[in-house]
Structure 1
Amino acid sequence: MSKVCDICGKSPQVGNNVSHANNKTKRRFMPNLQSVRAQLQSGEVKRIKVCTQCIRSGAVTKPVAN
């Protein structure tokens, strides 16, 4: 299961957990991905994984509910 946005390509970033004693351990910052039904430019409706930034910016066109 890929943790990559299908529109912008946003993927996990690597950073550190930093304790009060300033010890550092590796961690991953995951993008906030949502599985949404989107209407593609061909008119086809498909379920894709999209980050919330793309949803809020209007990069995703949601299909009309019947």
Structure 2
Amino acid sequence: MARICSVTGKRPSRGSIIHRKGQSKKSGGIGTHVTAITKRWFKPNLQKIKVRLPSGQVKRILVCVKVIKAGKIQKA
């Protein structure tokens, strides 16, 4: 099963972690320098919950927490 929200279509996105070293100029140093850039995935907070569909059928689907908090779906 793919990590995609059934309601919003939210999916994992690519990003990076930037490692910095040194003291900032504001703190009296010579500035921070980038020492490494590591690629990573930002994953949506998906939960598997039972949902009552408009037809009355109960189905288990993956939805992101943003949808649950907003009340866009009706739990079974």
TM-score computed with the length of structure 2 as normaliser: 0.78
Structure 1 segments of 4 or more deviating over 4 A?
none
Aligned to 1:7: 7
Displacement of 1:59 after TM fit? 1.1
What is the 5 A alignment of 1:35-46?
35-46=48-59
Paired with 1:36 and 1:60, the residues of 2 have a C-alpha distance of: 10
- Please list, as runs of the form range in 1=range in 2, the aligned pairs for 1:44-63 lying within 5 A after superposition: 44-63=57-76
Which structure: greater strand fraction? 2
Identity of aligned residues (%): 41
Q: CA RMSD in A?
A: 0.9
**Matching residue's letter, 1:3:** R
Q: TM-score, normalised to structure 1's length? A: 0.89
Question: Is there any run of 5+ residues in structure 1 with no aligned partner, and where?
Answer: none
- In structure 1, the residue matched to 2:19 is 19
Give the aligned partner of residue 30 of structure 1.
43
Pair member with larger Rg: 2
Q: 2: CA distance between counterparts of 1:55 and 1:8?
A: 11
* 1:15 CA displacement: 0.5
Gaps of 5+ in 2: 22-33
